[in-house]
Amino acid sequence: MLTRDPKYRAFPQDTMFVVPPRGKASPEIDELWMQEALRAAQRALEAGEVPVGAVVVHGGKIVGRGYNRNLSDSDPTAHAEVVALREAGAAIGNHRLGDCELFATIEPCAMCAGALVHSRIRRLVYGADDPKAGAVHSVMRVLNHPGVNHHMEVRGGVLAGRCAELLQEFFRARRGR
Ligand SMILES: [Zn+2]
């Protein structure tokens, strides 16, 4: 069942249809998991990769963790979210992650949003919007598209300042080089 949830104010210009939460998601717990995603992003930064991080949470613990590894793996698909989803699938032993939540520091791109739909994930929480590639609502809408069967709960804007700051630091440093 889809409802308009007034809580999701991260999308002021565009009310999202969201699936009502089943578990006990709380803003404080979301921030704790986002801290973990930020820690992963920090590792990407240290490796000279675009600092994006993600974690997959299942039953109150992390089952997948990822950060961008495009350069280190010479892999155009090695975005943080995809890396975390692969690890979670292997940990759980299932390609469907219906009881999981994914926390990403940045709004997922079209590829990652597609992967999230394929994983049947229950909930996505992300930090900063990505005005260049975001596929939740910024550039296009892949998640919760009316034509797509699987809908998930989405919350954006969690620790958005810190998430965006990491990226800005990275691009600033690169320009200065
Ligand atoms: Zn991506």
Read off the pLDDT of residues 96-141 as tens digits, 9 standing for 90 and up. 999 999 999 999 999 999 999 999 999 999 999 999 999 999 999 9
Q: What is the predicted pLDDT for the residue at 13?
A: 35
Tokens of 64: 């997948």
176 pLDDT tier (thresholds 50, 70, 90): confident
pLDDT class of 143 with cuts at 50, 70, 90:
very high
Determine the distance separating the centroid of ligand 1 and the alpha carbon of 140, expressed in angstroms: 13
Tens of pLDDT, residues 78-87: 999 999 999 9
Of residues 81, 101, 107, 153, which has the active-site annotation? 81
So what's the pLDDT on residue 80?
98
Distance from residue 134's CA to the centre of ligand 1 (Å): 8
**Residue 174's pLDDT band (boundaries 50, 70, 90)?**
confident
Q: Which residues surround ligand 1, an ion (CB under 5 A)?
A: 79, 109, 111-112
The share of the chain scoring above pLDDT 70, in percent, equals: 85
**CA atoms within 13 Å, Cβ hemisphere of 170:** 19
Whether the per-residue pLDDT at 149 is higher than 50: the answer is yes
Annotated active-site residue 31? The verdict is: no
Query: For strand 123-128 and strand 100-106, is the pairing parallel, antiparallel, or unpaired?
Result: parallel
Evaluate whether 141 touches 11 at the Cβ level (below 8 Å).
Answer: no
